[in-house]
Amino acid sequence: MLLLRFIGRRLVLAVITLVGVATVVFFLVRLIPGNPARTIAGVEATPAQVERVSQLLGLNRPEWQQYVSFMWRLVRGNLGTSTATGDPVLVDISAHLPFTVELTLLAIAIGIIGGMVLGIAAAFFRGRPADAVISFLAVAGMSVPTYWLGLNLVLLFAVHLHWLPASGAQTPLSVVLPAVTLSTLSVGIIARMTRSAMLEVLSQDYIRTARAKGAGRLRAALRHGLPNAIPPILTVIGVQFGLMLGGAVLTESVFNWPGMGQLLVNSIFARDFPVVQGCVLLFSVGFIAVNLIVDILYTIVDPRISLASQQGAPRKRVPLDQTA
């Protein structure tokens, strides 16, 4: 019952957030320079033809009327019709969404595995050259621009070595370079968080107790330290996954990957308001859903934190393993 109340409360907050996002997006896209009706009618269209297109699209109405119509369609699950293709927005999105999901899932998997392995290794070899090298790589991964890294990976693995496709999504290997590029930031962030969390738990008394009972350093770190370090790492993973869903625009542009990012960019240039609004709303829904899932998983992997504590009650935190 407590779980249902928690989920219900978060869903209400999610709906309020989505209404706010929809409102902001609706008015922001109308600040984009250019007239969508002119773009659709063509550069050689007469003013009368442009006005006719505006009437068909409802762009000649006051903005508050357009807003009310937009929100009413949104409540009914209708994102409108693309002004560029004439297809329903959901049709355009459904054609590109699977590519973004595939890219994001592979990228977050690389980020989790690579980041946690590097972070644990850095904590295990604290103060040694390996720690310095890993920390440098993590900071570099967080700092390197996506487009610069993507272009250099294309030059190395596609142009010079001919190991992987340079762009597009024609073969299963086409996703490798975009996924590696997209995961670089997450690898660095997760590695830094894993190192910090592991160093904190490895200094606790129950780790020293485990060592005193005969557990090796590596076993004590993985068996007794890692479970206590998971919660903050899980939070970072959730945030990174949500950001990846909406942050793959540059990566998809560099590799000509036919995902949501490319659809969003093309729609902005085409002044396709309905598709832009639909893409941003979908990204928002994905981010909110991921955060809700992370909050629920948080209570599963860390029994010290109850659902009641996430709703404002005082938290009592004790080590997951006091007996070691």
**184-210 pLDDT tens trace:** 999 999 999 999 988 888 877 777 777
Residue 293 has pLDDT above 90, yes or no: no
> Under 8 Å CB-to-CB from 277, ≥6 apart: which residues?
22, 25, 26, 29, 70, 79, 80, 89
Spatial separation of the C-alpha atoms in residues 83 and 96, rounded to whole Å:
17
Mean local confidence (pLDDT), 100-106: 91
Report the pLDDT value the prediction gives residue 113, as an integer from 0 to 100: 94
- Please indicate whether residue 209 or residue 32 has the higher confidence score (pLDDT): 209
Spatial separation of the C-alpha atoms in residues 242 and 20, rounded to whole Å:
18
CA dihedral 242, 185, 108, 198 (to 10 degrees): -100
- Whether 252 and 178 have beta carbons less than 8 Å apart is answered as yes
> Under 8 Å CB-to-CB from 32, ≥6 apart: which residues?
268, 271
Token digits of residue 91: 């049709």
Report the pLDDT value the prediction gives residue 304, as an integer from 0 to 100: 58
Spatial separation of the C-alpha atoms in residues 164 and 135, rounded to whole Å:
29
Report the pLDDT value the prediction gives residue 267, as an integer from 0 to 100: 85
pLDDT band of residue 318 (cuts 50, 70, 90) is very low
Report the pLDDT value the prediction gives residue 133, as an integer from 0 to 100: 93
- Start-end of H helices in the chain: 2-29, 36-41, 47-57, 63-75, 89-124, 129-143, 146-153, 176-202, 205-212, 217-219, 226-247, 249-254, 260-269, 273-301, 307-310
Among 165-174, 210-219, 231-240, 288-297, where is mean pLDDT lowest? Answer: 210-219
Mean local confidence (pLDDT), 253-275: 85
Q: What is the pTM of this model?
A: 0.79
Residue 308 has pLDDT above 60, yes or no: no
pLDDT tens profile 47-97: 777 777 777 767 777 778 888 888 888 888 888 888 777 788 899 999 999
The sign of the CA dihedral 253, 258, 264, 270 is positive
Report the pLDDT value the prediction gives residue 306, as an integer from 0 to 100: 54
The sign of the CA dihedral 188, 192, 197, 198 is positive
Residue 275's closest CA among 100, 75, 84? Answer: 84
Report the pLDDT value the prediction gives residue 294, as an integer from 0 to 100: 81
Mean local confidence (pLDDT), 97-122: 92
The DSSP code for 84 is T
Mean local confidence (pLDDT), 30-37: 69
Which span out of 13-17, 152-156, 265-269 was modeled with the highest average pLDDT?
152-156
- What percent of the chain is predicted at pLDDT more than 90? 17
pLDDT tens profile 225-252: 788 888 888 888 888 888 887 667 888 8
- How many Cβ atoms sit within 10 Å of the Cβ of residue 91? 12
- How many Cβ atoms sit within 10 Å of the Cβ of residue 31? 6
Mean local confidence (pLDDT), 308-324: 46
Report the pLDDT value the prediction gives residue 136, as an integer from 0 to 100: 93
Average per-residue pLDDT for the chain:
81
Spatial separation of the C-alpha atoms in residues 60 and 53, rounded to whole Å:
9
pLDDT band of residue 311 (cuts 50, 70, 90) is low
- What percent of the chain is predicted at pLDDT more than 70? 86
Rg of the chain over all Cα atoms, to the nearest angstrom? 24
- Please indicate whether residue 179 or residue 5 has the higher confidence score (pLDDT): 179
**What's the distance, Cα to Cα, between the start and end of the chain in Å?**
33
Token digits of residue 21: 């996002």
- Please indicate whether residue 12 or residue 84 has the higher confidence score (pLDDT): 12
> Under 8 Å CB-to-CB from 56, ≥6 apart: which residues?
none
> Under 8 Å CB-to-CB from 98, ≥6 apart: which residues?
none
Which span out of 8-17, 152-161, 313-322 was modeled with the highest average pLDDT?
152-161
